[in-house]
Structure 1
Amino acid sequence: MTAIRLAAAGLVLLSAPALGQQQVPAWAQGRPDHMAQSTLAPHPPRMTVTAPGDVPMNRLRVPQGFRVALWAHGMPGARMMALGDQGTVFVGTRVIGRVYAVTDQGGQRSHRILAEGLTQPNGIAFKDGALTVMAINQVLRWDGIEGRLANPGTPTDLTAAFDLPPDQHHGWKFTAFGPDGRLYTNIGVPCNICTFDRDRFALIVSFRPDGSDRRIEARGIRNSVGFDWHPVTRELWATNNGRDWAGNDEPHDTLHRIRRSGEDHGFPWCVGTWADPAVERRQCSEFEQPAASLGPHTAPLGMRFYTGTMFPEAYRGAMFIARRGSWNREAKIGYDVVVAKLDAQGNVTSVEPFLTGLLDDQAQQFHGRPVDVLQLRDGSLLVSDEQNGAIYRITYGG
C-alpha cells in the first residue's frame, strides 16, 4: 500500500471490511460485505486475432449520412492511437504488451509489431518525428520512427527522468503532447477506494519532453485514460472513471473541464455532488465540478475534439468519447462512442449516441469494446475496438 500522507486531511479508509485478511484480486478491493457473493468481475479482453469476417460490422450503427467500415484488423488488444506525420497510426495496448504501427498503401492497410514484452504500453504520443511510449513506469522514445518501421532499433530510455509510479492498478497511461509542447499523462489511483498520496496519484501531470519540470495539471481525478484540448480556448478536457462497488448507479463516470493548472476535482471524497460514503465527508462544493456525466460505470476512455470539415457543422468542435463499457454493474451499459456538444461558452449541452450496436441490451451481451477515437487528416474518424483487435473508420457523405 502506498504511504499514507492524508492523515492531516482526515481521510478515513472504510473499504472492504468483510474481506478481512483474504487475498483478493485488485479489482475486488472495496467490495462490501453484502456483495461478497457477487458474480461481477472484469471482462477479460480477447488476446487472439479476430478474423475480418468475425468482426461484428453488421451490428454497428451510426447516424444517418455516416458510414462505418473496417479500416484495420488483426491487432489483439488495440487501444490508444496516435497519428504520425506520414500517416502512420501507432496503436498501444495493455494486457498483450505490444505497440503496433498501421500503414496505408493505396487503400490497403497493413500493420507490424514495433515493440512487445512491455508492461501495459497503453500511452503513445507522436511529435517531431518521434514516438513516445509510456508503459506502467517505463518511458521510451523512438526518434525518426516512420523512416524505420521495419527496424525500429533501440529507443531512448527516459524512464528515470519521468519517475512514474510502478503500481499497476490503474497505472496504465494515456499520453499526448499539449499545445504548449509539454507531454501530458494521467496517473491513476493505485486502488479502488483508499488513502493515497494526492501529490503522486489520481492526477493529470505534464512534463517537458525530456521528463523534466513535472507539473500537476489536475488532482482528484481518479483515473483519466483520455484527454484533449479545446481547439479554440486550449483548455484541457478529460474523461474520468469513477470507483467500483458503490452500486449500479453510483458514482457516474464523468467529463472534466480543466481551466487552470492544479485544480482539485475531488477524489476520493467526491465525484461531482456525490459524496463517497466510504470516506470521511467533505463538502463537494469545495471541488471543481464535472462538465458532464457520462453514465455509471460506462468506462469512458479516449476522447478527441473534432476539428475536421468532413462531418456536418453540428459536430465541429464537439467531443467524440469512446465508452469501453461496464463490468461493475448488473445491467451492462456503454460499449459505444458518444458525442458531447458544447455551446459558445464551452458548456456541455448534450451527450448523444454516435456509434452503437456493440451491446445487445436484451441478451446482455457485448460484441466489442471501443477504447479510443482519432481524427485523420481528411476529417474521418477512427475508433479502436480492443475486444476485436480492430479499427473502424467513420466517414460522412460520398
Structure 2
Amino acid sequence: MRASLIAFTLLATSGMALAQTQVKLGVPDQDDPYATPAVVNHPVVIGWPEGKTPRAPKGWEVVKFAGGLENPRQLLELPNGDVLVSEARQKPKLDADPETARGFARSNVTGYSANRITLLRDTDGDGKADQTFVLLENLNQPFGMALAGERLYVANTDAVVSYPFKPGQTSITAAPRKLMALPAGGYNNHWTRNLQLSPDQRTLFVSVGSASNVGEYGMEEEERRAAILAVDLTTGRERTYATGLRNPVGMDIASDGTLWTAVNERDDFGDNISPDYVTSVQEGGFYGWPYSYWGKQDPRHANTKRELLATTIVPELAVGPHAAALGLALSRPENGRQFGYIARHGSWNRSDMSGYDVLVVPFADGKPTSDPQPFLTGFIADQREGTVHGRPVSVRARADGSVFVVDDNANTVWLARRGR
C-alpha cells in the first residue's frame, strides 16, 4: 500500500540518527534530578532565506503551502480541501524577569495576537494556497478546531464555542454558542486548548495544560487542568477523561479508535530530565503529574501521593527532554497501519538545543512499533549561535499521504509530499 511504501523509504533512507536513550519506544534513560543546573536558553528566530525550506527524507519534497500568516498554530483540513488555520500568540508575562522577557522577545513567542481563523484555499491543486479569507476574528487566543456535522467548534483559551458552518463558506458572521468554559492562562501561559473528535463524532476531547510547573501553586489551582476533558456533543455533559498530563496539546485517533496525545513534561530538573512523551490515553487514566514522571517519584513531591505510583500509567514513546512536543498527527489507516508525526517546537531551557524538527513513527493496529525517526529537519540555523529559521508547532496528515506542518515563528504552513 502507498502508506507502507512511504514509511519504508523514509525510515530506510534517513541518515540522521537520534539518541535512542532519549527518543525511543519505551522507558528512556534519564539523568538523576538536578544532575545539571536548570538553564534558560531561548532561540533567536531569523526566518527562512528565500527559497530555503525544511529538509525532508529522500523521495520527499517540501513546498510552502502558505506564508505571511500571523503566528499560525493549529490547522484543520475540511472535507472540500479548504484549510483552516488558527492564528494566535502567547500573551506577554507582565511579571516575567528581564532575562525571560528578553528570551521570549528574541524567540518571537509573545506579542500581538491576531486572534482569528484564516481559511486557505488551493484552487488548482498545486500544493500552494492561492486564496485567503478571514473566516473568524476577534477570538481569544484560538487554537484547536473541529467540524462536527454543520457546526465548527473552536477552542479559545477560556472557552469552547461553536458556529453554524458548511464547507465552502469563506466567512462566519453568526454569533458563537458557548459549549463550555475553560480555565485560562497557566505556567509559561500554557494557553493552548486543542480539540479532537471521537470517531463517531459524538464526543469532543479538549486538552488543557497545567497552571504550574509541578503544582507549586497548590492543586486547587489545577482543577480541570493538566487533563483531557470529554464533552458529549448531544447532551453537553462534561467528564474528565484523563489526568496527570502536564501539558497535553497534540491529539489524534489511532486505527483501533484509541486517543493519543503529545505531552510537555516538567522543567527545572536539568538538561536530560524529564523527556516529553507521546502516549495513548485511557479513560480514567492517571499519568503522573505532578507527583511522578516515567514511573519515578518527583523529589519535589517526595512525601506526597506516593500511593499513586502503583496506578500511574507510563507513556509509550519518549520524544526528548525539553523538546516541546506540541503537535501530533496520525495518517489515515491502511490495513491497520499508520504513521505518527510529532512536531517538536524546540527547547528554551536546555544547554544544547533539542527538538526543532518533526519526527515520524510507524504504528500497527493502534500501537507504535519502533523508535521515532527524523522526518523534517533544518529548522536550526546555527546550533552554536542558537539561531533557528522557524519552529514546527503542529502537524496534520492528509488522505494522500502528504503532511501539513505549521511553523508558527516563520508564519508559514509547509506541505511535505512525495517528490514530483
Where structure 2 has 5 or more consecutive residues not aligned to the other structure, the ranges are 1-33, 90-112
| Superposition map of 1:103-142 within 5 A | 103-106=121-124, 107=126, 108-109=128-129, 110-142=131-163
Tell me if the contact between 2:337 and 2:363 (Cα under 8 Å) persists in the aligned partners: no
Q: Deviations over 1:261-310 (max 9, x none)?
A: 1101110011213432222342644300010111001111121111277x
Question: In the alignment, is the contact (CA less than 8 A) between 2:161 and 2:180 conserved in 1?
Answer: no
Q: How does 1:26-105 map to 2 (within 5 A)?
A: 40=40, 54=48, 58-95=52-89, 96=113, 97-105=115-123
What is the distance in 1 between the residues matched to 2:116 and 2:37? 35
Q: 1:201 matched to which residue of 2?
A: 225
Structure 2 counterpart of 1:305, one-letter code: L
1:188 aligns with 2:206: no
SS of residue matched to 1:105: coil
Q: Assess, with a 3 A threshold, how the Cα gap between structure 1 residues 238 and 199 changes in structure 2: closer, same or farther.
A: same
Q: Distance in 1 between matches of 2:76 and 2:181?
A: 23
Return the alpha-carbon distance in structure 2 between the equivalents of residues 378 and 76 of structure 1: 27
> TM-score w.r.t. structure 2 length?
0.76
Aligned residue number for residue 274 of structure 2: 251
Q: Please give the alpha-carbon distance, in whole angstroms, between the structure 2 residues aligned to 1:121 and 1:345.
A: 30
Deviation at 1:344, TM superposition (A): 5.4
Matched, 1:289 2:314: yes
Counterparts of 1:100 and 1:211, CA distance in 2 = 30
Match in the other structure for 1:14: none
Within the alignment, does 1:375 sit opposite 2:393 as a pair?
A: no
**Alignment-mate amino acid for residue 249 of structure 2:** V
Deviation at 1:112, TM superposition (A): 2.3
Q: Is the 8 A contact 1:171 1:190 kept in 2?
A: no
Is residue 2:317 matched to residue 1:323? no
Report if the CA contact (8 A) 2:345-2:391 is conserved: yes
**For residues 369 and 337 of structure 2, what CA distance do their matches in structure 1 show?**
14
| 1:219 alignment partner in structure 2 | 243
Root-mean-square deviation (CA, aligned residues, Å) is 2.7
- The corresponding residue for 1:241 is 264
AA aligned opposite 1:101: L
Which AA in structure 1 matches 2:321? Answer: P
Task: Give 1:17's aligned residue.
Answer: none
Distance (Å, rounded) in 2 between the aligned partners of 1:335 and 1:247: 19
Q: Distance in 1 between matches of 2:42 and 2:182?
A: 25
Relative to structure 1, the CA distance from residue 212 to residue 58 in structure 2 (aligned partners, 3 Å threshold; closer, same or farther) is same
Question: In the alignment, which residue of structure 2 is the partner of 1:303?
Answer: 328
Distance 2:80 2:210 in 1: 36
CA distance in structure 2 between the partners assigned to 1:70 and 1:59 by the alignment: 8
State the one-letter code of the partner of 1:173. Answer: R
User: What is the DSSP-based 3-state SS (H/G/I as helix, E as strand, rest coil) of the residue aligned with 1:79?
Assistant: strand
Q: What number of residue pairs does the alignment pair up? A: 349
Q: Tell which deviates more after alignment, 200-209 or 356-365.
A: 356-365
Question: Match of 1:154, as an amino acid?
Answer: A
Aligned to 1:354: 375
Hey, what does 1:156 align to over in structure 2? 176
Corresponding letter in the other structure for 1:69: V
For structure 1, the residue ranges without an aligned partner over 5 or more in a row are 1-31
Deviates more, 1:329-338 or 1:124-133: 124-133
User: 1:35, 1:349 → 2: CA distance?
Assistant: 32
Per-residue CA deviations over 1:327-346 (Å, capped at 9, x if unaligned) read 01121111110012235572
With over 3 angstroms needed to count, the CA separation of the structure-2 counterparts of 1:357 and 1:131, relative to structure 1, is: same
Please state whether the residue corresponding to 2:404 is helix, strand or coil.
strand
Q: 1:276 to 1:57 in 2, by over 3 A?
A: farther
Query: Distance between the aligned counterparts of 2:235 and 2:225, measured in 1?
Result: 17
Secondary structure of the 2:354 match is coil
Query: Could you tell me how far apart the structure 1 residues matched to 2:165 and 2:135 are?
Result: 13
